[in-house]
Structure 1
Amino acid sequence: MKRRTPHLPVTAAIAATLLLAGCGSGSDPGDKIEGAGKEESASTSSPTASATPPAKVSDFGLPDDIKVEIEPNQTGDKAKDQILKEQAEGLMARQRLYVDLDPNSRYLTRYYADEAREFYVGEIKKSKSEGRTITGTYRYYDRKVEQNTDDRAIVTYCEDRTKAFAKDIKSGKALKVKPSPEDFIRNTATLRKTEHNTWLVQSFRGETAAKECQ
Structure 2
Amino acid sequence: MNRRTLPVATALAATAALLLTGCGSDSDPDDKIKGAEQGESADAPNPKATPTAPAKVADFGLPKDIKVEIESNETGDKAKDQILKEQAEGFMARQRLYVDLDPNSRYLTRYYAGEARAFYSAEIKKAKSEGRTITGTYRYYDRKVTKNTDDLAIVTYCEDRSKAYAKDIKSGKPRKTKSSPEDFIFNTATLGKTEHNTWLVQSFRGEAGTGACR
TM-score normalized by the length of structure 2: 0.77
1:208 aligns with 2:208: yes
Gaps of 5+ in 1: 1-8, 16-44
- Secondary structure in structure 1 of the residue aligned to 2:86: helix
Q: In 1, distance between residues paired with 2:9 and 2:78?
A: 28
For 2:55, the aligned partner's letter is A
Q: In 2, distance between residues paired with 1:56 and 1:153?
A: 20
Q: Is the 8 A contact 1:12 1:115 kept in 2?
A: no
Identity, in percent, stands at: 78
- Secondary structure in structure 2 of the residue aligned to 1:139: strand
Q: In 2, distance between residues paired with 1:169 and 1:92?
A: 20
Give the structure 2 partner of residue 97 of structure 1. 97
Task: State how 1:164-175 maps to structure 2 within 5 Å.
Answer: 164-175=164-175
For 2:167, the aligned partner's letter is K
TM-score normalized by the length of structure 1: 0.77
- Secondary structure in structure 2 of the residue aligned to 1:213: coil
- Secondary structure in structure 2 of the residue aligned to 1:170: coil
Q: In 1, distance between residues paired with 2:174 and 2:163?
A: 11
Give the structure 1 partner of residue 122 of structure 2. 122
Report the CA distance shift for 1:59/1:10 in structure 2 as closer, same or farther (over 3 A): farther
Q: Is the 8 A contact 1:12 1:116 kept in 2?
A: no
Give the structure 2 partner of residue 197 of structure 1. 197
Q: Is the 8 A contact 1:46 1:71 kept in 2?
A: no
Q: In 1, distance between residues paired with 2:110 and 2:62?
A: 17
Report the CA distance shift for 1:182/1:14 in structure 2 as closer, same or farther (over 3 A): closer
Deviation at 1:13, TM superposition (A): 4.6
- Secondary structure in structure 1 of the residue aligned to 2:89: helix
Q: In 1, distance between residues paired with 2:204 and 2:9?
A: 6
1:11 aligns with 2:23: no
Q: In 2, distance between residues paired with 1:169 and 1:12?
A: 29
- Secondary structure in structure 1 of the residue aligned to 2:212: helix
Give the structure 2 partner of residue 26 of structure 1. none
- Secondary structure in structure 1 of the residue aligned to 2:134: strand
Deviation at 1:58, TM superposition (A): 1.3
For 1:11, the aligned partner's letter is P
Q: How many residue pairs align between the two structures? A: 174
Q: In 1, distance between residues paired with 2:170 and 2:145?
A: 40
Q: In 1, distance between residues paired with 2:61 and 2:81?
A: 23
Gaps of 5+ in 2: 12-47
Which structure exhibits the higher relative contact order, with contacts defined as CA atoms closer than 8 Å and separated by 6 or more residues? 2
- Secondary structure in structure 2 of the residue aligned to 1:69: strand
Q: Is the 8 A contact 1:156 1:187 kept in 2?
A: yes
Q: In 1, distance between residues paired with 2:64 and 2:49?
A: 21
Report the CA distance shift for 1:125/1:95 in structure 2 as closer, same or farther (over 3 A): same
Q: In 1, distance between residues paired with 2:8 and 2:129?
A: 20
Give the structure 2 partner of residue 76 of structure 1. 76
User: Over aligned residues, Cα RMSD in angstroms?
Assistant: 1.8
